[in-house]
Structure formats: structure tokens, C-alpha cells
Amino acid sequence: MNEIFGVPLPAMMSQLLLGLVNGSFYAMLSLGLAVIFGLLNVINFSHGALYMMGAFLAWMGIEYFHLNYWIMLVLAPLVVGLFGVIIERTMLRWLYQLDHLYGLLLTFGITLMVEGVFRSFYGVSGQPFSVPEQLSGATDLGFMLLPNYRGWVVLASLVVCLSTWFVIEKTKLGSYLRAGTENPKLVEAFGVNVPLMVTLTYGFGVALAGFAGVLAAPVIQVQPLMGQNLIIVVFAVVVIGGMGSILGSILTGLGLGVIEGLTKVFYPEFSSTVVFLVMVVVLLLRPAGLFGKEK
């Protein structure tokens, strides 16, 4: 058993792992989008730009302030989250009464601005970002060589995604959040500070994007446009999975990453479009999405 359908097993496994790594990013980003959409009814277009910002902040922290990767892994998402809180307080807040489309358009404009600012300082070439030394090297699993950092990305994102799921579905705080999603007015009447909850939710959602950005920095080139194509793929992921279920977003993200990885092995020319093709099939067979309930 050294080959599957004529493809050598190690090559296949490494593509699968790459797929899982990408899937982890899809999962974290679509989870953030789903959490934000649930409470704010806003599709956050700037998610990709904030993911880029997370990666860049990590790079800047290491480059200019000589901080290490682990500090930036905590610090960068916090800064991105704070930036999100400012966006929500100063801009998004005024759009809740309007058609949802305006939220999308506003965050689209923010995307162009954020990317433009980074571009005007750093151009479009990638910045070097090395793997932290604790995670460099690879582990021999017998059937394949596992680069430690990639294993760490999958593990870290799984832990973050599952903790998010746990907090939202199983804790008191999460129950407020879910109640706020269903009926914000009623929750407010019970004395919960809903506007604050909304602000923090947005901050948390974009902090997830920032966290994903820091994780991605050593494996993907850190450059101002790194979030551009990603966000469109993540939108397709969200359409496929539907935004009704937290666990659904995580599973869809990981699953599509794996499918993309496998496509790279068998039909490399389709690897950039396979997620969109899956979206088309899902729209034809199950228009509401795999885990979706239409709002």
C-alpha cells in the first residue's frame, strides 16, 4: 500500500495535511463570520483584511520590537480585536437598522482602506517570517513526515474552534449570546447589556481572524493582499455550510480544505476553483446550505 490511485502515499498525505492546514484557516474565519452574523446581521467583508492585519502585526512585533512568536500570537489578535471594537463603535453601530447590504458595503470599504494603507507602506512583496524554533523541524510518523509547525496550526485552530463552540453552546455567557441572536430586545429587557455584547462579539470574531493570520504567517507569505482571495473562498465556505450552526462552520471549513488538498493531487488545475464548484453543487441540491436554516 504505497500508492492510492497511482499517487504515492507520502505525497498524498502531505497534500492532505496542507488541505487540513488551509481548512483550519477556513474554519476559523468562517466561524468568526458566523458568530458576527448571528448577532449583528452583518457579513464582515473586512475579515480577510483583518486576517492580513493579524499576520502583519505579528511580523511587525518580531521585526521592530523583537518580541517572539508566542507573545505575538496573543498580542496581535488582541490588537485586531481592539481595532474591531473601534470599527463597531464608530461605524457599524449606525447601520443596524438598515438593510444588511450596507454592512457588507461598509466593511468592503474598510477592507480597501486597510489593505491600501499596508500596501502603501510595504508594497505587495512578501515579508520573511520564520517558523518559531520550538516548532521547526519535522516528526517522522512512520507513514509520512509531519512538519511540526503544520501540525501545530491544525491543533491550535481545532482547540480555538472547539473552545468557541463550547463557550457559545454550553455556558451561561453563550446562552446570553444565543438568546441575543434570537431576540435582542427581549434579552435587553432582562437586563443584559446587549450593545456591549454586540461590540465584544464583533471584537472576538475579528480577533479570531487575527489569530488565524498569525498562525498563517510562517506558512503563507505575509503581504498586504494575502486576505483578498481567501475571503472570497471563505464566503463560498459560508454559503456551503450555512451560518446557522457553529459546529457546522468548523466542519465545513475543515472538510473543504481537505477536498481542496485532494484536488491538488488529482486535478491540480481545478484546485483554485473546487470550493466554488462544491458551492454550485450544494446550491443545486440543497439551496439552504449543508447546516443552514434560512433567515
Partner 1 sequence: MNKIGYGIALLIALAAPVLGGYPPFLSKLLCFALFACAFNLLIGYTGLLSFGHAAFFGMAGYAAGNALKVWGWPMELGILFGVAVAAVLGLVMGALAIRRQGIYFAMITLALAQMVYFAALRAGEWTGGEDGLQGVPRGKLLGLIDLGNDLTLYYLVLAIAIGGFALIVRIVHSPFGQVLKAIKENEPRAISLGYDVDKYKLLAFVLSASLAGLAGAVNTLVQGFETLTDVHWTMSGLVILMTLVGGMGTLAGPVLGAMLIIALENKLGDLGLFMASVTHIEWFNTLGEAVNMVTGFIFVACVLLFRRGIIGEIIARFAGNTKPA
Residue ranges that bind partner 1, judged by CB under 8 A: 37, 43, 91, 94-95, 98, 100-102, 104-106, 108-117, 119-120, 229, 232-233, 235-236, 238-239, 269, 272-273, 276-277, 279-280, 283-284, 287-288, 294-295
Residue nearer to partner 1 on the CB measure, 51 or 149: 51
Residue nearer to partner 1 on the CB measure, 62 or 230: 230
What is the closest distance, in whole angstroms, from the C-beta atom of residue 279 to partner 1 in the complex? 6
Whole-number CA gyration radius for the chain: 19
Question: CA nearest 94: which of 58, 24, 40?
Answer: 40
What is the closest distance, in whole angstroms, from the C-beta atom of residue 83 to partner 1 in the complex? 14
- Three-state secondary-structure class, residue 294: coil
Give the contacts of 158 (CB within 8 A, at least 6 positions apart): 24
Residue nearer to partner 1 on the CB measure, 154 or 209: 209
Residue nearer to partner 1 on the CB measure, 258 or 278: 278
Residue 123 CB neighbour total at 10 angstroms? 11
What is the closest distance, in whole angstroms, from the C-beta atom of residue 290 to partner 1 in the complex? 13
Strand partners, 3: 8
What is the closest distance, in whole angstroms, from the C-beta atom of residue 276 to partner 1 in the complex? 4
Residue nearer to partner 1 on the CB measure, 3 or 99: 99
Give the contacts of 17 (CB within 8 A, at least 6 positions apart): 144, 146, 147, 150, 151, 154, 261
What is the closest distance, in whole angstroms, from the C-beta atom of residue 183 to partner 1 in the complex? 20
H helix count then E strand count, the chain:
11, 4
What is the closest distance, in whole angstroms, from the C-beta atom of residue 292 to partner 1 in the complex? 9
Residue nearer to partner 1 on the CB measure, 130 or 229: 229
Kindly give the interhelix angle for 47-65 and 100-122, rounded to the nearest 10 degrees: 30
Please say whether the beta carbons of 235 and 216 come within 8 A.
no
